[in-house]
Amino acid sequence: MIKDQHIKDPDVILIGSGIISATLGVVLKQLDPSITIQLYEASEHLSSEASNAWHNAGTGHAGLCELSYTPNYGEDGDVDVSKAIEIFQQFEHSLQLWAYAATKGIIKNTKNCINLIPHLSLAYGQEQVDFLSSRYRKMSQHHFFKDMEFTQDRDTIRQWAPLILEGRGQEPVAMTRVSQGTDVNFGAIASQMIEWLREQEGCGSVTQHRVTNLSEMDDGWKVEISNLYEGTKFTNTAAFVFIGAGGGSLPLLQNSGIDEAKGLGGFPIGGQWLVSKNPKLVNQHTAKIYGMSPGAAPTMAVPHLDTRIIDGEKSLLFGPYAAWTTKFLHAQGSYFDLPNSIRSDNIISLIKVGIQNFPLVRYLIQQGSQSMNTRLKELKNFYPDACHKDWQLIDAGIRVQAIKKEDGDAGIVHFGTEVITNSNKNLSALLGASPGASVSTSIIIDILKECFAEKLKNAHCKENLLKMIPTYNEDLSMPHMAERQLQINKQSMRSLNLV
C-alpha cells in the first residue's frame, strides 16, 4: 500500500489513479499551488486498470491512422475528416502538457512514457484501396496531415512494414504512413504524475482505499472510504470531487444521487490481445497499422497490428478482440457489476440496448468464445504468414460505455467518452473509454472551464495554464495557424526527447 500523506478535508478529492485523475491532479496543482488534493485508489498499484500499458493499445490517437475517424465514404468518394482533425488537435494538447511535465520533472523518464512509432493505415482489396486513396487525398490537404504518404507500390510497403506482404497474394494493397506517430504508456505517465503530486505540499494519495459512497453537503461532498488493507472505514470531505474511476465511475455516480446520473447505464466490453515477443517478428515491424472494421465490430474493435514499447521492451500486439463481460473493472470488479448497476431509472434503456444492439451482443459473445485459429485468421489479414506458436492471448482492459436515457439516445451505446457534471459544478465524472487517454488533457480543459471557471478568471492561474498547454484556447486547425502548430509541436517533441 502506498500511503505517504493523507489530507483531511482537502479542496479536491480524486477517485482513481488512471490517466484522467492524474492529469486533473497535476493541472490543478500547477494552476494553483495552494490547492489541497487527496487521491484514493482501490487497487494495490497505481494506474493498473484501463491506463495500464497492457490493457490499452498505447496509440497516441492523433487521427493519423484510425480509419474509423474518417467515415462517410459515399459514391462520390467523399471522406469526412473532421473527427480526425478534432482528435489531432486534442492530442496536441496532451503532447503540450506532457512536454511541460517533462521539463518540470513531473514526468521523469520520457522514454518509459512515449516513443515515436510510425502510424500506418492498411487497405486490401480494390474497394478498401479506393477508400484509402480518397481519404489520403482529403487528409493531406490539411496542414495537420500534410506529411502523410500514400503508396500502392509493393517495394515501398515492404520497406514500411515487411510482415504485411509475407505470404500475401496479388490482391491490391495500399498504405498511408505518418512517421511522427507515437506509442504511449499512459499508465507510466499517470503513475509518474501521481508520484509527483503526492510529494507536493497539501497533497496525498493512497492505494487500497476504495471510495464506497458520496453524499452532497451544503458546501461540497462527504466521501465514504474503505481502507481495504486494514479493513476499516472512514469519511473525508471536499469542495470538489472528481470520479475518475474508469469502470468504477458509474456505480459511484449512481450512489452520488445527482440528477445528471439518473437514467445512466453502462455497457461493459471486455477485450483481448494477441502478443508476440518473438525477436524475429518484433525486429521486422516498427509501426502501428490500423485496418478497417470487420462487419459488426464496434469502432473500438477495429483491428490493428502495433509495435509496443513497454518498460523498454519491444513487442507486437494485435487486436483488440472484443469480448462479452458483466464486470466493470479487472482487479476490483465483480461479475455482478452489470446486474448491480440496474436501477428503476435505467432498466428501460438497458432493455432497449439489449434489443436494439442484439447483433453487437451476439458479436461480443462470438468474439469472446472464438478459437485461436479463428483469431489467427483475423491477424492473417494483416500478416498472412502469422503462426500460432509466435502469439499468446492476453486480457485487454474493459470499457464501460455509457447508455443514456435522453430522448433520441435511449437504446444507444455511446462509444466515446462522456464527462458528467452536476448542476452545482462540484462533481464531475468520466464515463467511457476511447479515445480517452490520448485526449485526457482536452477532457481536463473542459472540466476546468466548467467547474473551475472562477480560477481561470484569475490572471495568475490563466498564465499557469498557458505555460502548461500554450494553445488551450486557440484553434490550430485554421489554415493561418499552420506555422504556429508546427512550432509548438516541435517544442513539445523536443521536450519529450522525440526529436
The residues binding ligand FAD (CB under 6 A) are 15-21, 40-43, 48-51, 55-59, 61, 186, 210-211, 244-246, 248, 252, 271, 320, 329, 332, 396-397, 399, 430, 433-438
**Conformational region of residue 422, where left means phi above 0, alpha means psi within -120 to 50, and beta covers everything else:** beta
Which phi and psi angles does 243 have, rounded to 5°?
Answer: -95, 95
In the complex with ligand FAD, the residue whose CB is nearer, 211 or 289, is 211
Find the shortest distance in angstroms from Cβ 385 to ligand FAD: 25
In the complex with ligand FAD, the residue whose CB is nearer, 327 or 455, is 327
In the complex with ligand FAD, the residue whose CB is nearer, 58 or 220, is 58
In the complex with ligand FAD, the residue whose CB is nearer, 152 or 212, is 212
Strand-pair partners of 305:
289, 318
Q: Give the sheet arrangement for strand 232-238, strand by strand.
A: 209-217, 220-227, 232-238
Find the shortest distance in angstroms from Cβ 319 to ligand FAD: 8
Find the shortest distance in angstroms from Cβ 24 to ligand FAD: 9
CA 166 to chain centre: 32
Find the shortest distance in angstroms from Cβ 360 to ligand FAD: 16
Find the shortest distance in angstroms from Cβ 6 to ligand FAD: 14
Residue number of the CB atom closest to ligand FAD:
18
In the complex with ligand FAD, the residue whose CB is nearer, 140 or 492, is 492
In the complex with ligand FAD, the residue whose CB is nearer, 189 or 468, is 189
Angle of CA points 62, 66, 71, to nearest 5°? 110
Find the shortest distance in angstroms from Cβ 116 to ligand FAD: 15
| CA dist., res. 21 & res. 1, Å (int) | 19
Find the shortest distance in angstroms from Cβ 351 to ligand FAD: 25
Neighbours of 315 (CB within 10 A): 18
Find the shortest distance in angstroms from Cβ 329 to ligand FAD: 6
Find the shortest distance in angstroms from Cβ 402 to ligand FAD: 12
In the complex with ligand FAD, the residue whose CB is nearer, 291 or 320, is 320
In the complex with ligand FAD, the residue whose CB is nearer, 301 or 403, is 301
In the complex with ligand FAD, the residue whose CB is nearer, 175 or 225, is 225
Q: How many CA atoms lie within 13 A of 63 on its CB side?
A: 27
Find the shortest distance in angstroms from Cβ 245 to ligand FAD: 3
Would you say 321 and 379 are in contact if contact means Cβ atoms under 8 Å apart?
Answer: no
In the complex with ligand FAD, the residue whose CB is nearer, 140 or 325, is 325
| CA dist., res. 100 & res. 97, Å (int) | 5
| CA dist., res. 289 & res. 304, Å (int) | 5
In the complex with ligand FAD, the residue whose CB is nearer, 157 or 261, is 261
- The set of residues, in sequence order, having a beta carbon less than 8 Å from that of 358 and lying 6+ positions away, is none
Find the shortest distance in angstroms from Cβ 267 to ligand FAD: 13
CA 103 to chain centre: 24
